[in-house]
Structure 1
């Protein structure tokens, strides 16, 4: 197998000679232009010599590994060793609509999610009793535990947890959690 009159053994010897050369050889560096010596570390502005730390990332206690702001809500419930399956669930956004909204459009509500006031989370829990359910709801996280199932759900919108309610339907083997949503810009969107 020859390529352009050069045998494969000559190719191997040439490759071997290239690989055995010293990388830091001074005589090779003399023939190379200054641009060829630049590497990926030379891209961008030069690094600052004095190390200034911004106050946003300063730790309050030197023994802390991270601050509380860096940890996402609900991650304390993540247990990778717990092998219980996640139950089926569905998130439904709800809004209160009256006849004045439906027929006359007086309140300016539309079918979009911006006009929804509450969030309904339906969780199917087969072979589970209401007394077996442990439910903890935070502003943006729902944690449900039963002997057979585990659900850690990050909610799509912030909620008012004190105004929420949960109801277990034993015939359907389903838990329904209704949570009113926090809408910080409601005073702009609903009153225009």
Structure 2
């Protein structure tokens, strides 16, 4: 009994004939391929010649390398030549918890970040006055600049940039930025 290996040319042609749904005219063209040049790409029907081009990947300008949607928000603030150090910072996620959540568990909240409503960013700024701080908050990016420090922080969750608040504590030399997190309405995050 003869054992047919997967790599033998006859078995590849037989398998190609089984998987192919093209007309006999197309089969004549595929049999002209030499057995030595056959590979996994020759199994099945030949690729369609009239491929439809998706409009999502069509470049608008021939000199563009990528579209604006592919660039991360806040990348225009990245300046690798800037020698200012990055200050120490800490991100704390906050959620409103009432007695019905704590004792009865009625709202279905848990300690995970999915149940948090706000984000507190604490930034230590030694030897800095409140008037020296420039702060710009986008949906997914926080940009802070002082004469001594520079912080470009990609936020872990999208935020409502217009609804945040910032407070500078001179005695601790620390800036606290509170930002409301944008959440999809689901069974956990009900209004």
Q: Same fold (TM over 0.5)?
A: yes
Identify the residue that residue 187 of structure 2 maps to in structure 1.
188
Structure 1 unaligned segments of length 5 or more: list them: 1-33
Matches of 1:43 and 1:124 in 2, distance apart? 60
Structure 1 stretch displaced more, 89-98 or 61-70:
61-70
Partner of 2:127: 127
Compared with structure 1, are the counterparts of its residues 148 and 51 closer, same or farther at alpha carbon in structure 2 (3 Å cutoff)?
farther
Q: How many residue pairs were aligned? A: 154
- Please report how far the alpha carbon of residue 54 of structure 1 lies from its aligned counterpart in structure 2 after TM superposition: 2.5
Q: Is the 8 A contact 2:84 2:149 kept in 1?
A: yes
CA contact (8 A) 2:122 2:176 kept: yes
Please report how far the alpha carbon of residue 178 of structure 1 lies from its aligned counterpart in structure 2 after TM superposition. 0.4
SS where residue 103 of structure 2 aligns?
helix
Q: CA deviation at 1:43?
A: 6.8
Deviation of 1:47 (Å): 8.6
TM-score by length of 1: 0.71
- Normalising to structure 2: TM-score of the pair? 0.71
- In 2, Cα distance between equivalents of 1:114 and 1:60: 38
Any residues of structure 2 matched to 1:41-56 within 5 Å, and which? 44=41, 53-56=53-56
Q: In the alignment, what sits opposite 1:110? A: 110
Write the distance in 1 (CA, Å) between the matches of 2:56 and 2:164.
35
Q: Contact 2:138–2:161 at 8 Å: present in 1 too?
A: yes
1:49 is displaced (CA, Å) by 6.9
Structure 1 contact 108–190 (Cα < 8 Å) conserved = no
Q: Map of 1:83-162 to 2, 5 A cutoff?
A: 83-162=83-162
Q: Whose radius of gyration is greater, 1 or 2? A: 1
Partner SS for 2:106? coil
CA RMSD, 1 decimal: 2.4
Runs of at least 5 residues in structure 2 that lack an aligned partner in the other structure: 1-34
Partner of 2:175: 175
The alpha-carbon deviation at position 48 of structure 1 amounts to 7.9
* Aligned counterparts of 2:47 and 2:86: Cα–Cα separation in 1: 48
Work out whether residues 109 and 188 of structure 2, in 8 Å CA contact, stay in contact via their aligned partners in 1: no
Deviations 1:27-71 (A, max 9, x none): xxxxxxx76x89xxx775799877864311112233433210111
Residues 119-146 of structure 1: CA deviation (Å, up to 9, x unaligned)? 0000011011101111010000001111
Partners of 2:47 and 2:109 in 1: how far apart?
A: 54
User: What secondary structure, in the 3-state scheme, does the structure 2 residue paired with 1:162 have?
Assistant: strand
